[in-house]
Structure 1
Amino acid sequence: MHVARSINALGGTGASDVFQLLRDGVPKSRTELAALTGMARSTVNDRLSALTELGLIGPAADGVSTGGRPPRRVALLPDARLALAVDLGASHVRLAVVNLLNAQLSAHEESLDIAAGPEPVLARVMELADELLAGLGRDRQDIMAVGIGLPGPVHFDSGRPSRPPIMPGWDGFDVPGWFHQHVRVPVLVDNDVNIMALGEHSRLSRPVEHFLFVKVATGIGAGIISGGRLQRGAQGIAGDIGHVRVRSGDGVFCHCGNEGCLEAVASGSRLAEQLRRAGHRDISGGRDVVRLVDAGDLDAIRAVRQAGRDLGEVLAASISFLNPEVIAVGGRMAGAGEHLLAGVREVVYQRAMPLATQRLDIHTAAQTRDAGLLGASLLALHHALSPAGIDALADASSA
């Protein structure tokens, strides 16, 4: 995963270099840690003392002795600190509190209109977070980091949304700064497709270094993992495939002001609009389109299949640039399953080079609901438990 800030593992207290070997939760003896780090036992003991004072590690069950006294082992205390994961969509919010091993301890979901503006929305998020923490017998002091996904472009370095089309009032809003008024911890903000890509990638059945996650819902976007790292691009909008022009979009104008965008012809809202014009008056969005597809409605199936072809046209070009091993299609419209994927595969296999598609796996995302939460928690924990994060925590506790 991409490191949230540039780090220097040699800075600060130095406790972080030992901690990285304990992040997996597996107990280790001081002798093992000394061998793995190349440090003297006395230096390892100093590092462990610092981590113990932070409350991050503690004694584990005695190890197996090879003669004499059993070795004393130490391990990560998973519930010593917590992380808050937040997945905000156009009309919903999902929250979860996780421990240091990314085990979900408590979660909540409810409807929430992102267009209500940043302060009302974030105030509700904080209120829900307090409720989750209280249910666990914990409070804000136990939070080590916050990870947030937003449904629009985000400057990752600043955590500020950048002209998000469905988020009025959010442009340039200092999301981390708002949270820092309530909880003094690192706050990592990214767009929702990137965090979904992180979540889905973490649960693939095999290690994959080159991965493309595509979300097809009210909007269309992609999260790119190349060389094992999330690629955000210079301004944080890498993967904005929804505004690539497609042939079937001639004469169709997008909300961005351009003509022929993929999102203008293949998003869930546009498919719903097409079906309403065809006489399906009870269609309001992508969820209803999927319902019609499941019921075998031929108009809906044809519309979804064409949306898959349009998406496939853009993905064929993306494959030539990125050469992914796996493409996972998620978002609300992924519920249309093989009807959508059939259109994608039809064009991809026709247009992309055979070598690029020979072993290409295109499938529906497995983490259909929890990918965003999982990615947000990974984002938070990756930063909080990085060498820089541990050193910053140690420095703050000794200040």
Structure 2
Amino acid sequence: MIEDGPGRVLELITTGSARTRSEIAHVTGLSRSTVGQRLDTLFAAQLIFESTENVPSRGRPSRGLELNPRAGVLISVDVGEERTRIAVLDLNLAILGDRVARLALGDGPEVLLDRITAILRELIGQIGLDQSAVAGFGLGLPAPVDYEAGRVQGWSIMSGWEGYDIRRHLRRSWPVPILIDNDVNLLTLAEHRRHFADQRHLFFVKAGTGIGSGMVIDGAVNRGAQGAAGDIGHAHIAGFGDPQCRCGNLGCLESLAGGWALARDLGEGHDARDVAERIRRGDSAAVTSLRKAGRIMGESVAYATSLLNPDVIVLGGLLATTGDDLLAGIRQVVYQRSLPLATRQLRIVVTKYKARAGIAGAGYLVRDHVLSPAALDARLLIGRSPFADAL
């Protein structure tokens, strides 16, 4: 990477750190002529354009510089237990087209990935684009993922996927960078970047049919050594009995407070959606069950609070968005169990996202990769397209 090269200049523009020539020169220390050269490279690659609006400054107002959102498009796929959301995004992560499909995880990776590819080709055609416009592919999976290898590792609900080379399969159709991560890590990334970018430490808990968590430490998503960080759903919780979990162990948090476990105890339905529907109908047994689940979940969240000392804890997933019952139970236990220093400025909130957090997270992940200064500089230096065939 060229120090403060075109890639770095684009990063400043994209993040809003510097939006004019003079601001770029001030932040980087580059001369105005060198800034001009960097910008000429970005203009030639159609990565930026000059806004019609002036940006106020101490001197003469200047035209603002902006990322060209249509310089390429991103594929973003959020695979869920019951539903898979598939989207095509521009470089500002605006959704150009999306679709929700019921895809059975049990059909195996080849069938499911080929179905996703078919849907994507339809979407891209409907938008009026060619497949060559695709700059990168982001995929979220409801399973532990070895981030570097891009493969499901260990037990998960995705039976038959362990060790399968997902990236190799997708590259038959999509010769672009393909990034694969655990779905909760992508929810964590989206939450942090969209709503809490000023916070350096964030803990995210997904309470749906299963339970998972993700963490931002010192401003970056932390996946652990092999991508298994944050798997609190399968940590043992003492004092509440030891029902068998889907993973085969006894007394996991998920077996006590996950959506499938609540449905089991209520004797109706099989997942978080069924439980949420009963809660919305005002079913007193379901509400009581969710409140208890909040207190049980609070035991794990309190431990994480003492361990990580986050600025904010965000609750997501279907069970978290049914009302305040889950939030109240978690808050009660966290503030009881954690030391005052860890909770003095702590906020515990429910996500502001509705249904597209996973899509946003996959979008952030792949955009960060394809627009990274090092990758862009390497390609622009040899006169290549910033995206095409950028493996």
Does the alignment reach a TM-score above 0.5?
yes
RMSD of aligned Cα (Å): 2.7
Describe the shift of the 1:396–1:291 C-alpha distance in structure 2 as closer, same or farther (beyond 3 A): farther
Rounded Cα–Cα distance in structure 2 between residues aligned with 1:229 and 1:33: 24
Rounded Cα–Cα distance in structure 1 between residues aligned with 2:238 and 2:266: 20
Rounded Cα–Cα distance in structure 2 between residues aligned with 1:140 and 1:164: 35
Instruction: Give the counterpart of 2:356 among 370, 374, 393.
Output: 370
Unmatched runs of 5 consecutive residues or more in structure 1: 1-7, 277-281
Cα distance per residue 1:305-352 (max 9 Å; x no partner): 111111001111111001112211111222332122222122222211
Once the two structures are superposed, the pairs formed by residues 298-309 of structure 1 within 5 Å of their partners are 298-309=284-295
Cα distance per residue 1:105-160 (max 9 Å; x no partner): 22221211122111111112112222222222112211111111100001111211
Rounded Cα–Cα distance in structure 1 between residues aligned with 2:2 and 2:238: 50
Q: Please give the secondary structure, in 2, of the residue aligned with 1:182.
A: coil
Rounded Cα–Cα distance in structure 2 between residues aligned with 1:308 and 1:375: 25
Instruction: Give the counterpart of 2:322 among 336, 355, 374.
Output: 336
Once the two structures are superposed, the pairs formed by residues 225-304 of structure 1 within 5 Å of their partners are 225-276=216-267, 282-304=268-290
Q: Please give the secondary structure, in 1, of the residue aligned with 2:14.
A: coil
Deviation of 1:396 after TM superposition, in Å, equals 6.8
Deviation of 1:17 after TM superposition, in Å, equals 2.4
Aligned 8 A contact 1:26 1:76 in 2: no
> Which residue does 1:170 correspond to in 2?
161
Deviation of 1:192 after TM superposition, in Å, equals 0.4
Deviation of 1:210 after TM superposition, in Å, equals 1.5
Q: Which residue identity lines up with residue 53 of structure 1 in the other structure?
A: A
> Which residue does 1:216 correspond to in 2?
207
Aligned 8 A contact 1:304 1:336 in 2: no
Q: Please give the secondary structure, in 1, of the residue aligned with 2:97.
A: strand
Aligned 8 A contact 1:34 1:40 in 2: yes
Instruction: Give the counterpart of 1:196 among 187, 199, 202.
Output: 187
> Which residue does 2:389 correspond to in 1?
none
The answer to whether the aligner puts 1:321 opposite 2:307 as a matched pair is yes
Instruction: Give the counterpart of 1:146 among 116, 129, 137.
Output: 137
Instruction: Give the counterpart of 2:96 among 93, 98, 105.
Output: 105
Describe the shift of the 1:381–1:244 C-alpha distance in structure 2 as closer, same or farther (beyond 3 A): same
Cα distance per residue 1:371-393 (max 9 Å; x no partner): 11111111111111111231244
TM-score normalised by the chain length of structure 2? 0.89
Unmatched runs of 5 consecutive residues or more in structure 2: 386-391
Describe the shift of the 1:397–1:95 C-alpha distance in structure 2 as closer, same or farther (beyond 3 A): farther
Q: Please give the secondary structure, in 1, of the residue aligned with 2:195.
A: coil
Describe the shift of the 1:397–1:154 C-alpha distance in structure 2 as closer, same or farther (beyond 3 A): farther
Describe the shift of the 1:323–1:73 C-alpha distance in structure 2 as closer, same or farther (beyond 3 A): closer
Describe the shift of the 1:147–1:9 C-alpha distance in structure 2 as closer, same or farther (beyond 3 A): farther
Q: Which residue identity lines up with residue 242 of structure 1 in the other structure?
A: G
Q: Please give the secondary structure, in 2, of the residue aligned with 1:292.
A: helix
The answer to whether the aligner puts 1:19 opposite 2:10 as a matched pair is yes
Identity of aligned residues (%): 40
> Which residue does 1:93 correspond to in 2?
84
Describe the shift of the 1:323–1:129 C-alpha distance in structure 2 as closer, same or farther (beyond 3 A): same
Instruction: Give the counterpart of 2:174 among 161, 183, 198.
Output: 183
> Which residue does 1:349 correspond to in 2?
335
Deviation of 1:28 after TM superposition, in Å, equals 5.2
Rounded Cα–Cα distance in structure 2 between residues aligned with 1:312 and 1:70: 52
Aligned 8 A contact 1:193 1:223 in 2: yes
